[in-house]
Chains A and B, each alone.
Chain A
Amino acid sequence: MELFDNHKSLYRTAFLLFVILTVFVAIIPAMNNQRNNTPLPDAPALSPAAVKGKALFVSNGCVACHTQQVRNVDMDKKWGSRPSIAADYADNHRTDFWRNTATLMGTERTGPDLTDIGTRQPGEDWHLTHLFNPRIVAPASVMPAYPWLFTEKKEAAKNDVVVKIPDEYKEEGTVIVATLQALQLVAYLKELKQVKLPDGTEIPAFLYAKQPSAANVANGTAAGAPDGRLYTLIIVRAVISRTEKD
């Protein structure tokens, strides 16, 4: 064919086809998504310590093994009280000039999902010990140890956070002290909590079509959300397409 014997028209055609498809399956949906979603009213912003902690979570590549998404399927019920919705991620913006947005949804669950780890595991002590070496608290775990987030000292200073470590995991006669970084990382983990849906509004029932128990969660939330209707709209938008699901 004439068209295909001319390199200019051949490559232009292929290029255009690809770009048009790209615009429709990637760029427009992405832009729509960021335009149509705002964080839930009750969603607190991360504390400054937790923001630094999140950066540590990113730089150590924790996302290689931990997801942060609760899917609307039965097996994910244990990872949160409700499925994650687009609004849950809406507060993620570009990290800085060098780094892209980190929604940290993840693609592999070598370790447990962390969407709601702050609720599931609220203790700072547990987290610090676990980070120092996961096998102290979960013998079968394959998670790496992060000893470089701690310092080994002969004696703890006044403000030091001493981590409880069994003797076989450290030199005798020393104490393990958490560094600022360890505390920041733990602050982030503790703030990873699913935000309750705003109350005083209709419950988008289809969200819980498969999870009757989860409806209680929405009922039990505190009253007084500023503009419940608006946010319901957001939630409804975020999950509207799910209604098609049987």
Chain B
Amino acid sequence: MRVLPVLLTAVPLPLFATPRGRAFFSTDSIDGLLFILLSLVTILLVVAIALKVRTEMMRAKNTARRPVFDTTKFNEYISALSSKSIDAYLTLKKRKQQKNNGALKGMLLILMAGGVYSLPAGAQQIDAKPSALLQETGIIITLILLLIPIVAGVILMAVKVSGLIRRRTRERNLEEATVFADYLTNPDDPVIEQALEQRKQALAYHLHNKELAGEAAAEDARGLVGNINLHTGLSVVAQKQRARQRPAVDPALSKLVMWYLGCAAFWLLFGTTVGEYVGIKFVSPDVDHLSWLSFGRLRPVHTNAVFWGWASLGMLGLGYYVVPRVSNVPLASLKQGRWSLILINAAVILGSVSLMAGINNGGGEYREYIWPVQLLFGIGLVITLYNFINTIAVRTTKEIYISNWYIVAALMFALVISVVAYVPWWQDGLGETIVQGYYMHQGVGMWFMLFTLGIVYYFLPQQLNKPIYSYSLGILAFWAQILFYTLIGTHHFVFSAIPWWLQTVAIVGSVGMVIPVAAGTTNFIMTFRNGWYKIASSYTLPFFLVGIIFYFTGSLQGTAEAFRSTNLIWHFTDFTVAHSHLTMYGIISFFLWAGIYAVVPRLSGKEAPQITVGAHFWLALIGLLFYTIPLMYGSTLKGIMWMQEKPFIDSVIMMAPYWLWRAIGGSLMWLSHLFFAYNLYKMILGDDTTDVKGAAIERLNQSYSEIESTL
């Protein structure tokens, strides 16, 4: 009840005083907007409170662990022993324990924690006009988009916690029964003993628990029992379903795929270690004074290593599994696959070293590698494309499964983009910049996004064990993506000296991107339909879900950024960096992890410990939110300061806390990658005791002996 006044003061009272002649809920009214936001926050709060209450309940139950029986009172009951009175006794006892006292205690804490985000360090210097700002469509879209992943995170957490609680309650009941039974079988009182003896006999007369099972040892002829969990402790992560063993994959192909994924993981570690270090340099610019490690040189090392090393190799690795599988034929050439891997790795190694040595292509983002280095990468792609097309050409299915549309198209387009970007004939003066805009955006949209969508179209239905919701929606998204995405490169240079019409085309295309994004998201979400419950028992589906959410929010954030009004505020600020990570990390990396956790256990027959998979997931997600949300907030303030023509250095000083948040979030993300690397190691090289089949048999044996001993 203490909460009520707090809540009341939090509600801005004028909110309810609707100005005359104006609809309360009109979208251009601040009150209406605030109302929407406030309702969303309220929903969040309610969920948080509900969670809190349930957790308290659980704690209360746990503190009453191993109840000691009050024997005198108990004796009274037992002297009049009957099944009814036992029942009554038990329920009474249970009720007492369930009474939750002070469950609402922690709620103030939650409220206070919520306030942290509304703590703009240095906001005093900024006399922003929030009302005008809040009316910008782009800002509104962003605010709403921001809430989506947070809400989803809370819901996911709620699902997990309530699952845990339910399980715990069941265990708890069992435990009580055990204690009670213990007491019944070992009382000191001979009278009770006698009574119990009779009771026992009576009960024994009814049941000896073998009527149905019979005397023979239990048998699980089909290997269906594999998920028995009898340990009673409160586990940190819920036990998830284990990967299902699938028809054998050619061991040579398995090895190739695992090499790709292993190299990708290496570049993820390398690239994000560099990224983390680069992030630290914003907080402490004097950590080192070495030319090879200076910010300007390391930044492209980070971006290129995660682009061409991590994301590209990760995608290709999964592609090498998906393409032959959906064509129902073996891969055309394993040898070519190996060459491709070697060339791409060589490109990233040489490229990173040369960037650190100060050799780069001239400043266009993501084409910092000089052409001889990028050429290696290009040849790698040509080989892979050739290999994939040869595989698909001899497919035994009539249709070409949608995954192969996306994957092959991505490879073709990536090659076109690279050629356009590296050929010198149209790169004088602003020609370079026009090509840069095109290259940069096709790189992320036509290479990473298209390829990754192909991977999702295979793995998501497979992990949900049902077909994709709509095949034609996937095809619509495919063509719409090509049409609109190709147009939008110049939105990186809004207001610049690039032809105005080209900028306008880019902005229009950016809005058009809503079509493929909405189509894709709908398709994925509808595929989940009736299968949501599976999330709680799967460790790959949460990765998919996060990827889908960021696919929607991250891409639409891009649309919001492209409007001239919002671009004015956000362009050149760290907002772009937040967007880059929401997309390249939130979408691409999460989808890749999802695919990797789905496929590697099939190839190797080994699984990663579920607790470290959970650690990877939560650290990456929470880290990403810590990284991006403060950065978006800070960069909005920065843009406003620029518009108010404050001294530039003031905006640098103002950003300090947000850069610190970025470093903190980045550290969590980096830590999650260590867990990922460990998991991958366990899945590929881990010892054989985690072999799926072996472990299942072991578990079966164990559970039988436990069941037998209780009989």
Contact = CB atoms under 8 A, between A and B. Distances in A.
A71 B504 CA distance: 15
Nearest to A241: B500
Contact of A59 (B281, B295, B360): B360
B414 to A, nearest CB: 11
Interface size class of B (residues with CB under 8 A): 35 or more
Interface in B335-387: 355, 358-365, 367-368, 370-372
A141 B482 contact: no
B195 interface: no
B295 A61 contact: yes
Which of B299, B431, B642 has the largest count of A CB atoms less than 10 A from its CB? B431
A94 B365 CA distance: 16
Contacts of B416: 15, 18-19, 22
B285 A108 contact: no
A60 interface: yes
A19 B659 CA distance: 40
A115 B477 CA distance: 42
Contacts of A75: 568, 642-643, 645
Given A5-B400, A145-B285, A101 B427 contact: yes
Nearest to B398: A5
Which of B361, B428, B643 has the largest count of A CB atoms less than 10 A from its CB? B428
Which of A11, A95, A140, A141 has the largest count of B CB atoms less than 10 A from its CB? A11
Contacts of A146: 291, 294
Contacts of B319: none
B319 to A, nearest CB: 15
Nearest to B490: A25
A33 interface: yes
A10 interface: yes
A89 B577 CA distance: 26
Contact of B426 (A17, A27, A107, A133): A27
A223 interface: no
B205 interface: no
B89 interface: no
A135 B362 contact: no
Which of B285, B430, B482 has the largest count of A CB atoms less than 10 A from its CB? B430
Interface residues of A, number: 83
Interface stretch (A79-87, A158-166, A194-202, A214-222): A79-87
Contacts of B433: 89, 103, 105
Interface string B418-453: 001010111111111111001000000010000000
Nearest to A93: B428
Nearest to A67: B572
A178 to B, nearest CB: 16
A44 interface: no
Nearest to B298: A61
A133 B286 CA distance: 9
Nearest to A7: B392
B interface majority secondary structure: helix
Interface in B125-177: none
A95 B500 CA distance: 27
Interface in B434-489: 434-435, 438, 446, 475, 478-479, 482-483, 486-487, 489
A157 interface: no
B295 A86 contact: no
B409 A61 contact: no
A98 B577 CA distance: 29
Interface in B265-309: 281-282, 285-286, 289-291, 294-297, 299-300
Contact of B434 (A26, A100, A244): A26
B19 interface: no
Contact of B296 (A65, A85, A99): A65
Contact of A72 (B294, B430, B495): B495
B253 interface: no
Interface in A127-153: 133-135, 138, 140-148
B431 A241 contact: no
A144 B294 contact: yes
B501 interface: yes
B711 to A, nearest CB: 60
Nearest to B278: A64
A177 B495 CA distance: 42
B294 A22 contact: no
Contacts of B408: 7, 11
Given A59-B359, A88-B497, A245-B500, A73 B428 contact: no
B497 A7 contact: no
A83 B497 contact: yes
Contacts of B428: 34, 90, 92-94, 101
Contacts of B39: none
A107 B94 CA distance: 64
A60 B294 contact: yes
A85 B497 contact: yes
Contact of B497 (A18, A89, A102, A112): A89
B429 A7 contact: no
A62 interface: yes
Contacts of B203: none
B576 interface: yes
B400 A18 contact: no
A147 B434 contact: no
A63 interface: yes
A135 B653 CA distance: 13
B114 interface: no
Contact of A99 (B362, B426, B490): B362
Interface in A39-71: 58-65, 67, 69, 71
Nearest to B651: A109
A236 B335 CA distance: 57
B367 A18 contact: no
B287 to A, nearest CB: 10
Nearest to A72: B495
B413 interface: yes
B393 interface: yes
A30 B435 contact: yes
B434 A29 contact: yes
B285 A141 contact: yes
Contact of A107 (B371, B430, B438, B576): B576
A98 B297 CA distance: 18
A107 B355 CA distance: 19
B573 interface: yes
Contacts of B425: 31
Nearest to B505: A25
Nearest to A19: B416
A91 interface: yes
B652 interface: yes
A5 to B, nearest CB: 6
Interface string B558-602: 000000000010001110110000000000000000000000000
6 contacts: A7-B395, A11-B408, A14-B482, A25-B438, A75-B645, A103-B432
In the A-B complex, the 4 residue pairs with the smallest Cβ-Cβ separation, listed nearest first, are A61-B296, A241-B500, A59-B358, A30-B431
Given A61-B299, A140-B652, 12 more contacts: A11-B412, A25-B486, A26-B435, A27-B435, A30-B434, A63-B363, A67-B572, A83-B497, A92-B432, A144-B281, A145-B289, A244-B500
